[in-house]
Amino acid sequence: MAGTVSRGAPNIMIAGTPGTGKSTLAKELAQRSGLNYISVGEVAERADCMDGYDDELQCGILDEDKIIDELEETMSAGGNIVDYHSCEFFPERWFDIVFILRTDNTILHSRLTERGYNEKKIESNISSEIFQVIADAARESYPAEIVHELASDNADQLESNLDKILEWLALWKQQH
């Protein structure tokens, strides 16, 4: 069961469709909280946890087993903010709370276009957001009470989300 593992600090998952603001939120949260920021994509590149390349979507294919092995010790210690678009393949025991960022499709389309994504990749990501693919996978993979969706359309919502997560963190520390 999530949260039953005894750690000095919690592990927080920040997930969502590419372009929803995960990295911005997670990096700022790490800075304000003192927790360790982990970009799964960066770790996968550095530790050779990629299993090929998807030409159509123009991105690497993650070797999920390798990345889990790579992160196991760090995650067991606690005190991490994990940034990755999906989360359902990570062990349930790793996370004390999971935040799924959601962004309005028009805003998301603009953000992905600015990144230079091709039409197929933009279409795939917009569809994922419309059909709540990441949110549904998170709800199926973790206890409902630890999965929370946060709107991530603008700077005001970013600040509000940071405040909410920092409040949760303070409460977690009081209870543990």
- Residue ranges for the known binding site are 19, 21-24, 115
Report which of 48, 43, 2, 42 is spatially closest to residue 143, judged by C-alpha positions.
2
Contact partners, residue 57, CB within 8 Å, separation at least 6: 120, 121, 124
DSSP string across 17-43: STTSSHHHHHHHHHHHH-PEEEEHHHH
For the annotated binding site for ATP, the residues are: 19, 21-24, 115
For 46, the token pair is 């550095």
Q: CA-CA-CA-CA torsion for 14, 17, 21, 23, nearest 10 degrees?
A: 50
Report the amino acid identity of residue 7.
R
For 67, the token pair is 């990345």
